[in-house]
Structure 1
Amino acid sequence: MESQRDAAPLGRFLTVADTAEVLNVSAQHVAELISSGELPAIRIGRSGPWRIEFPALEAFISGQYEEARRAALWHQAQLTELVEFSGAPMLRPVPPLG
């Protein structure tokens, strides 16, 4: 697996800075993801630095892809007319004569 080969030089755990580099975001953004619980991380010691396990980062990235895929599908569904879903034309009530 190519991602595992890429992780080898970094080791099992990534620093916040390493994680930010992999995600191409700021270290502050990674810290926010950790604080919100979106990105699992552990602390080394009581007040030591955060560490992100490489498989947890891969799972986070996969989850982000899945979330984007679902959002795109939902957006497509919002643009699709009901007529296309059912295959039958929609009937509208006819106002009474008189």
Structure 2
Amino acid sequence: MSETSDVRYLAPAQVAELLAIEPDEVVELIRARRLRGARLGSPPRWRVEQASVGEYLEDQHEESRRMALWRESNEASFPELWGSPSDS
């Protein structure tokens, strides 16, 4: 069997339901190359590779984790870390 036969596709409405967004936003994610999709069938309609939805969610999780760490580091007080000038 070829690799392409193992690829499963979802309609934008299905992906939108999974991600709790609108179908138009799914198409924008495809155009922004954050989801892998193609126009298939006759007439051509957008379809999204199912595996790319999981990858997108993993990317979103990692981005959220990094933002939380960044916020945490910004909230650190430099005097608490390095000591105040009067401590010298």
Given the two structures, how large is their TM-score scaled by the length of structure 1?
0.70
Task: Give the superposition deviation at 1:61.
Answer: 0.5
What is the aligned-residue identity percentage? 31
Structure 1, unmatched stretches of 5+, are: 1-10, 93-98
* Map 1:29-40 → 2, pairs under 5 A: 29-40=25-36
How many pairs were matched up? Answer: 80
Task: Identify, as 1 or 2, the structure richer in helix.
Answer: 2
RMSD of equivalent CA atoms = 2.2
**Counterparts of 2:61 and 2:48 in 1: how far apart (Å)?**
19
Runs ≥4 in structure 1, deviation > 6 angstroms?
A: none
Task: Give the superposition deviation at 1:66.
Answer: 0.5
Given the two structures, how large is their TM-score scaled by the length of structure 2?
0.77
Q: State the AA in 1 paired with 2:20.
A: N
Task: Give the superposition deviation at 1:84.
Answer: 4.1
SS at match of 2:52: helix
Task: Identify, as 1 or 2, the structure richer in strand.
Answer: 2
Structure 2, unmatched stretches of 5+, are: 1-6
Larger-gyration structure (1/2): 1
